Structure 1
Amino acid sequence: MVWSTQAFGERYGPWAVVTGASAGIGREFARQLADLGLNLLLVARREPELAALARDLQQGHGILARVLATDLSQAEGLAKLLRTIDTLEVGLLVNNAGAPSFHGHFASRTWSAVADTLYFNTQVQLRLIHHLLPSLLERGRGGIIQVSSITGHTPVPYMAEYAACKAYQLALGESLHVELRDRGVDVLVLSPGATRSERVDFGMHPRPVARAAINGLGKLPSVVPGRLNRWSAFRFRHLDSRRRALWRMGRFQSRRLEPAGE
């Protein structure tokens, strides 16, 4: 589906919340939503990057852009965002912020690191959806884009808790897509593979990744951008046995680890 500016604004406007908006996929979502005429609440930890993006979008697209520099991994940071959402007429949530992936042995992780990943990648997204949903249902329109990962489509040894979190996000979003579609609220899960950002210098450019989600919103329960990524996700979910997929991913990930004892 290719949206017109008017139709998209009527369905998902006037305000969109984009978390993790300072870089990568989140930043690209902000640009494309501004192209479609939505006002933006840009959320991330780094205020200078958010402020610069807000100025660019306001000047280039004639929209309103507000900045909220807060750390969503902290309870007060999340509470601050919830209070701000209540002051705006939000029609779209892009649930993009999350803890980065960890490659290594699960046993080497401290409990606090594991718990932080679990909180940031599951409870924060869930809380935002649960908080915003009553107002969307009351209006009878709106949308939620849940950013997961291709790792949510299969178990991934040496990325165990991260893949589990992404599987949770995928299952949650696809379930809500069906549960809410007849009540006017569109939910879509975006499962990107490797995507270029400040931390990653390979993979897809974020532009087609964000575009795939926006075009699929209101039509599909989930999208996997990129032909190779789509084939990998389809193979893992439908063609390979779960045991075969598990061992394949384990061999691939183990080659990325440091040798034992180094």
Structure 2
Amino acid sequence: MGLCKLLLTLILISASFFYYLTQYTNLIKKYKCKYAVITGSTGGIGKELTSQLIKKMNVITVARNPAELEKIQEQYKDEQFKIVPFVFDFVDDLNTFSDKFDQFLTEKGIDKQEVGMCFSNAGYGDYKPFESYNYIEKAKFVQVNFDAHLAICDYFCKLFLTRKNTKSALVITSSALSHTPGKYFALYHTTKAALSSLGNALYAEYRRKGIDVLVVHPSSVSNTKFYQHKGIKAEGDKTMPVIGQIENSFIAVTPKQVVNRMLTRVGKINQSQVGWAAVSTALFATCSGRNIQGWIWSLFSLNDKLVK
């Protein structure tokens, strides 16, 4: 009888916690801000974030392509809140981001204290042998997929600490591949693993200082620019199977699912897996350890044709 009561109690606690996690956070009430910043705002997840946040607050969209930013701004011109585009290419000197963004805020008449949320979402993928591209190409990849997030975290953690007695949120998009190496995804895995570790460390450091840090780990995300990048495509502009098939397969998640997870989990937990494949990958990584993971992934590739 005692065991049954214990099991029932655990089930009720688990169900209550799950219900709590799935409820949307009142962002305006919690973070008391008028502006949210989204990097990688012209991609699938970035666009979905914009479409949901613009109903609640003003959105500063960050991307490298002015034409695409203007298109998004035009799309939401009739909304109650406004889109404010900021052009920045994370391939450029990241040391200039802070000064350029400060200047941008001044020119637009935006008070820093009114910026209370940042979604660090920029990046792209590559699928090829480590030795097949030179150091400069590798350094560029690391800059966009990790260093850019580091620059964003550096700027916004400092900014958010100045918002006295007010909470702020920093949400980082990582990947299920942060948990496991993946053959021919060496640099992608490396940058995502570093990014997840950074987010976890920042959560531990700033949770009691008013900054909610959340890292999401989606599995393959459909309808994004990830699969359009030349590093994921073969000659003739055709995405090669099996890589191309993953985008719309049963293991994929949609940008809406990823964003919904962000907006329900922020301020509640520090890491979240999106999609059953991401959950499975995380569990496997936890249970197997690095030695077994590396050995298993060395046995096969998602698509040898793409790299030969």
Structure 1 SS opposite 2:153: helix
Alignment: residue pair count: 254
Mapped pair 1:112 → 2:136: yes
Contact 1:16 1:40 (8 Å CA) reproduced = yes
- Are the counterparts in 2 of residues 103 and 257 from structure 1 also a CA contact under 8 Å? no
- 2:60 maps to 41
Structure 1 residue 3: Cα displacement: 3.1
Look up the SS of the partner of 1:72 in the other structure: coil
User: How far is the alpha carbon of 1:48 from its aligned partner?
Assistant: 2.6
Is the radius of gyration larger for structure 1 or structure 2?
Answer: 2
**Is the Cα contact below 8 Å between 2:176 and 2:219 reproduced in 1?**
yes
8 Å contact kept, 2:128–2:306: no
Equivalent AA in structure 2 for residue 91 of structure 1: G
Query: 3-state SS of the aligned residue for 2:125?
Result: coil
Q: In the alignment, what sits opposite 1:135?
A: 159
Between stretches 184-193 and 241-250, larger displacement belongs to 241-250
1:154-193 equivalences under 5 Å are 154-193=180-219
Counterpart AA for 1:26? G
CA distance in 2, matches of 1:85, 1:185: 21
Does residue 1:211 correspond to 2:260, yes or no?
A: yes
Indicate if the aligned counterparts of 1:78 and 1:124 stay in contact, CA closer than 8 A: no
| Deviation, structure 1 residue 66 | 0.6
Query: Structure 1 pair 110/141, CA: closer, same or farther in 2 (3 Å)?
Result: same
Q: Distance in 2 between matches of 1:219 and 1:58?
A: 33
* Aligned partner of 1:30 among 50, 57, 82: 50
Deviation (angstroms), 1:45: 1.9
8 Å CA contact 1:71, 1:78 repeated in 2: no
> What SS does the aligned partner of 1:241 have?
helix
Question: CA separation in 2, counterparts of 1:198 and 1:135?
Answer: 30
Distance in 1, matches of 2:133 and 2:218, equals 25
For residue 194 of structure 1, the aligned residue among 212, 215, 220 is: 220
**Matches of 1:185 and 1:85 in 2, distance apart?**
21
C-alpha distance 42-106 of structure 1, shift in aligned 2 (>3 A): same
SS of 1:258's equivalent in the other structure is helix
User: What is the rounded CA distance, in whole Å, between the counterparts of 1:84 and 1:134 in structure 2?
Assistant: 17
Deviation at 1:81, TM superposition (A): 3.6
Decide which of 290, 293, 298 is 1:242's aligned counterpart. 290
Q: Does residue 276 of structure 2 align to residue 227 of structure 1?
A: yes
Q: Tell me the distance in 2 between the aligned counterparts of 1:199 and 1:185.
A: 29
SS of residue paired to 2:86 = strand
Which residue identity is paired with 1:145?
V
What is the correspondence of 1:9-24 to structure 2 with a 5 Å cutoff? 9-12=28-31, 13-24=33-44
- 1:243 & 1:82 partners in 2: Cα distance? 45
SS at match of 2:126: coil
Corresponding residue for residue 72 of structure 2: 53
- Map of 1:92 onto structure 2: 117
User: What is the one-letter code of the residue matched to 2:290?
Assistant: R
CA distance in 2, matches of 1:81, 1:211: 28
Give the alignment's TM-score, normalised by structure 1. Answer: 0.88
Taking only the aligned residue pairs, the percentage that are identical comes to 25
Please state how far the C-alpha of 1:183 moved relative to its aligned partner. Answer: 1.2
Taking only aligned residues, the RMSD between alpha carbons, in angstroms, comes to 2.1
Q: Which letter maps to 1:162? A: Y
CA distance 1:83–1:250, change in 2 (3 Å) = farther
- Cα distance between partner residues in 1 of 2:302 and 2:28: 47
Give how far 1:158 is off.
1.4
Provide the secondary structure at the position in 2 that maps to 1:204: coil
